[in-house]
Structure 1
Amino acid sequence: MTTVAKKIVISEFMDEAAIDTLRQRFDVRFDPTLFETPGRLAAELADAHALIVRNRTQVTAALLDAGASLSVVGRLGVGLDNLDLAACAARNVAVFPATGANAQAVAEYVIAAALVLLRGAYLHSAEVAAGAWPREALSSGREAAGSVLAVIGFGGIGQRVAGLARGLGMTIVGYDPQQPAAAPCWRSTGARAMALDDALALADVVTLHVPLCEATRHLLDSGRIARLRHGAIVINTARGGTLDEHALAAALREGRLAGAALDVFEDEPLRRGSPLADAPNLILTPHIAGLTRQANERVSSLVADRVAAALTNPSPDTDPVADANAMPGAL
């Protein structure tokens, strides 16, 4: 009797080598545009056993209902706000994020953005190319060494950022209600645990590494942005919605903040008329902080291995979202 291979649907881009590994054992349907047409995705899930997504596929209760045989969702990343975890748990669908696999990529993005914005000069290439010579104006940039970095959310990624920043001679303060003051991570990274407002008050650079939930929505709101030191820099690679974009844009236009780098937004892609569109000293990237060639290979390989293992040896005693719930400071 011939055994029919279990079906895996992949609705967003994934490393080809990892897909090929899955194809050796499973019926794989890969279409990186599937997330754009929920009806087509639902049809593909009708006889699927696993779904692999990034951050643009909305895994809702209705979508899960379209896949009666679904038992696994693999997440090519670690943020889970596009997944209805309660619905997954109710249907005994296990969720496997790529915890830790893109931490180095995000940490390097944060440090690179901090260096560019502290120095300031790199944002003026067009002026120099046009014949201007703003040497005096660009001679007051700041060094990372001796600057204070506030890491808000001290999970795996926040800790990796702190480690790189320490190597540059930065002073690191941090906030994470899920990490007790006595947690080993503070001492191992040379960071000092503080209350949120205290950490922000000291910061030359603020970097966010928190998941998006009700407790973190607009965590960096107009009031907290107003209390930041004059000339501070804000970096967000976590989730759009964790900071107030209107308040940030206003602070940049008024010169109270020296710069910002945003990789995530409340609306992705940015809507026309966004307050960020013409704000000065602002670096905008399309949710790619965790995407490098190496990180994509690691993330894809990890998720492929975990999904394959779950389909091959399902464990009914495992909490289907335990791994997803154990991620303080997740991206």
Structure 2
Amino acid sequence: MADIVISEFMDEAAIAASLSDFDVLYDPGLVDRPDDLAAAVKGARALIVRNRTQVRGALLEAADALVCVGRLGVGLDNIDVAACEARGVKVFPATGANDIGVAEYVVGTAMMLMRSAYTATDEVIAGAWPRNRLMGREVFGKTMGLVGFGAIARETGKRAAALGMTIVAYDPFVADDDPAWSQPWGRVAKRALDALLAEADVVSLHVPLTEKTRNLIDAAALAGMKPDAIVVNAARGGVVDEPALAAALKAGRLGGAALDVFETEPLPAEKGAAFAGCPNLVLTPHIAGVSVESNVRVSAVTAETVRRALTEG
């Protein structure tokens, strides 16, 4: 019977460094074997997960000795936090550890979509020379609109500002007089959501999934954007209305989009079919915050937090 069960991939050096005094079951494939996972967590004092393991319902009931849950990331959509609190189970997200990875993904992908020159490899190999069609845009002088202005959004704004972009943001939870609007790298203009969508050349989403943010970017919101705007969602699936986004791209009412997160993950083939034929679209498998470096940071933070919770109480 393991003290600690780890059901998704994690940096093994962090396990060795912080959790060597415990009986650890590290099996990244457990997330895809729910019966085995339910059996494994019986008697375990800690469970370490990423975003796919659903820490709720029957799994929580099976984890009869659970003291804490370590989340290799920051989103808690897959964890029934209220049920954990009711049982006195502490939940530890790895706050801040993957901020840089997500920020670099957003800015790098936005630059690629704005420039639109990186899809011609096969054509060039075949002897074509589509220069006129691939004349894209620079990000310098453009406006980055951040929907949500937490830590990851601020890292994103910092990098976009360094490229000469103007930064505007919408966040009803950050007061008008909050010092966060004056960053070391520049002043960020606060906007209402409709105004931000109308102004921004790149719209990057940085909000959790709640009842208020579900389908926040729907057909009406997309219609209020510039026809050549770029949308990047590396926050949470469900914040963007996926069929509406696909329709806007196919109709030429949007300049491009990148989705790293989806309402259902992995993206089912029948839902993915809606994106077939969409121009200037990037789809990635919830990987924005997972780089070699961020995996080391997230794993180290989580392993150490779990160790303290089990040894110090």
Q: Same fold per TM (> 0.5)?
A: yes
Structure 1 segment 1-331 matched on structure 2, within 5 A: 7-139=3-135, 141-188=136-183, 189-274=186-271, 275-314=274-313
Deviations, residues 161-206 of structure 1 (Å, cap 9, x unaligned): 0000010010111011211122112111521111111111101000
Structure 1 residue ranges (4+ consecutive) displaced by more than 3 angstroms after TM superposition: none
Shift of 1:63: 1.3
Are the equivalent residues in 2 in contact too, given 1:22–1:28 (CA < 8 A)?
Answer: no
1:73 aligned counterpart, secondary structure: strand
Shift of 1:6: 7.2
Shift of 1:302: 0.2
1:268 aligned counterpart, secondary structure: coil
1:225 aligned counterpart, secondary structure: helix
1:19 aligned counterpart, secondary structure: helix
C-alpha distance in structure 1 between counterparts of 2:259 and 2:144, whole Å: 16
C-alpha distance in structure 1 between counterparts of 2:264 and 2:254, whole Å: 23
AA of the residue aligned to 1:185: A
Shift of 1:17: 0.4
Over the matched positions of the two proteins, sequence identity in percent amounts to 56
Structure 1 residues 10 and 74, CA gap change in structure 2 (3 angstroms)? same
AA of the residue aligned to 2:281: L
C-alpha distance in structure 2 between counterparts of 1:123 and 1:79, whole Å: 32
What's the RMSD between the two structures over aligned residues?
A: 1.3
For structure 1, the residue ranges without an aligned partner over 5 or more in a row are 315-331
Deviations, residues 259-300 of structure 1 (Å, cap 9, x unaligned): 111111112222223212331110111110001110000000
Query: Where does residue 325 of structure 1 map in the other structure?
Result: none
- The count of corresponding residues between Structure 1 and Structure 2 is 309
1:172 aligned counterpart, secondary structure: strand
AA of the residue aligned to 2:303: A
AA of the residue aligned to 1:250: A
